[in-house]
Structure 1
Amino acid sequence: MSEPASAYSTVVVGTDGSESSLRAVARAGALAGACGATLVVACAYLPTEADERELARAQDVLGDEAYQVVGAHPAEDTVRTAAERAAAAGAGKVRTVAVMGSPVETLLDVVRRENADLLVVGNRGLNGIKGRLLGSVPADATRRSQCDVLVVHTTD
């Protein structure tokens, strides 16, 4: 008889500081706590010197999926707040990372670097027409992830 599959040991969750993403963080925190897993809270951000036209263009195309965080200091504040929310939900071991880059690439990079066995994302952007036509962070991350992905229902 083979050994049963073990619980998750490292869980990665992404946040942009929005209430929707913080709901995913809370669910990831509760799950990580229940499994005794380490939770890594990640936030992607644009550099503060990003061209304002580039930011406006991204928001026109992506709407709600555009960057919520610009700059390393706001990103650090975002992950600190998210880590508090995760701990309140039950996470025992929480680490935070703020990485300059696109949300999907950042999440996948953190999953690889941390050797994570679960990625948690919110469902914001999955149901809208823009998300279906252009892709969304949860859809792209789910499709490209090399580990299990939990999509948390975070939008009404």
Structure 2
Amino acid sequence: MNSFYHHILVAVDGSEPAEWAFKKGIEVAKRNSATLNLVHVVDTSHYRGIEMYDVNFTKKAVSQAQELLERYAQQAKEQGIEKVKTIVEEGSAKTVITKHAAKKANADLIICGATGINAVERMFLGSVSEHITRHAHCDVLVVRTEKE
């Protein structure tokens, strides 16, 4: 069993739980001299019909995701992380993180926040962090905020 991580994937969406996951990702990346891969999934499953009215909706969302990841990447570099990569994907966050982003990053650890959607959505859709934990082919660290 390898006790070091080399490619850490942190799922971020701008929420407070994602912020905590990001901070934990920086700590773990520093301790392991690892590459920090930051992923944001533009969840197109929630707004398929919107593009009928705004054909540039997804492009705008992807652009905002890239800006968000650039800010996170800059913060990581300022805190001493030398190797930072960003990944923007489209689709359902649950499946994209484990099936595509983790493979693209060659992740040996995925870090995500414990929550991020409200209780009603979680009841019908299921938790993204729960799905990642069940389906990832590598270690998963689910980070809780102080409030939880």
Give the structure-2-normalised TM-score.
0.78
Q: Any stretches of 5+ residues in structure 2 without a counterpart?
A: 53-59
Q: Distance in 2 between matches of 1:126 and 1:52?
A: 20
Displacement after TM superposition at 1:92 (Å): 2.6
In the alignment, which residue of structure 2 is the partner of 1:40? 37
Q: Which residue of 2 aligns with 1:149?
A: 140
1:52 to 41, 50, 53: 50
Aligned length: 138
- In the aligned structure 2, how far is the partner of 1:132 from the partner of 1:88? 39
Q: How far did residue 141 of structure 1 move?
A: 0.7
**1:136 counterpart residue number:** 127
Q: 1:82 to 1:139 in 2, by over 3 A?
A: same
Q: Which residue of 2 aligns with 1:116?
A: 107
What pairs up with 1:73-84 in 2 under 5 angstroms? 73-84=63-74
Q: CA offsets per residue over residues 100-138 of structure 1, 9 Å max, x none?
A: 111122211111122210000100159946535641110
After the TM superposition, which of the residue ranges 38-47 and 72-81 deviates more from structure 2? 38-47
For the Cα contact (< 8 Å) 1:28–1:86, is it kept in 2? no
Residue 89 of structure 2 is matched in structure 1 by: 99
1:14 corresponds in structure 2 to: 11
Contact kept, 8 Å, 1:33 with 1:92, in 2: the verdict is no
> Which segment drifts farther, 136-145 or 106-115?
106-115
- Aligned partner of 1:26 in structure 2 is 23
Residues 11 and 119 in structure 1, CA contact (< 8 A), matched pair in contact too: yes
Rounded Cα–Cα distance in structure 2 between residues aligned with 1:46 and 1:134: 13
Distance 1:46 1:143, change over 3 A: closer
Letter in 2 for 1:38: T
Relative to 1, partners in 2 of residues 1:155 and 1:98: Cα closer, same or farther, differing over 3 Å?
A: farther
RMSD after superposition: 2.8
For residues 54-74 of structure 1, the C-alpha deviation after alignment (integer angstroms, 9 at most, x for no partner) is 9xxxxxxxxxxxxxxx62110
Question: Taking structure 1 as the reference length, what is the TM-score of the superposition?
Answer: 0.75
Question: Residue 98 of structure 1: SS of its match in structure 2?
Answer: strand
Are 1:87 and 2:77 matched, yes or no?
yes
Unpaired runs of 5+ residues, structure 1, are 55-69
Letter in 2 for 1:34: R
* Alpha-carbon separation, structure 2, partners of 1:7 and 1:119: 13
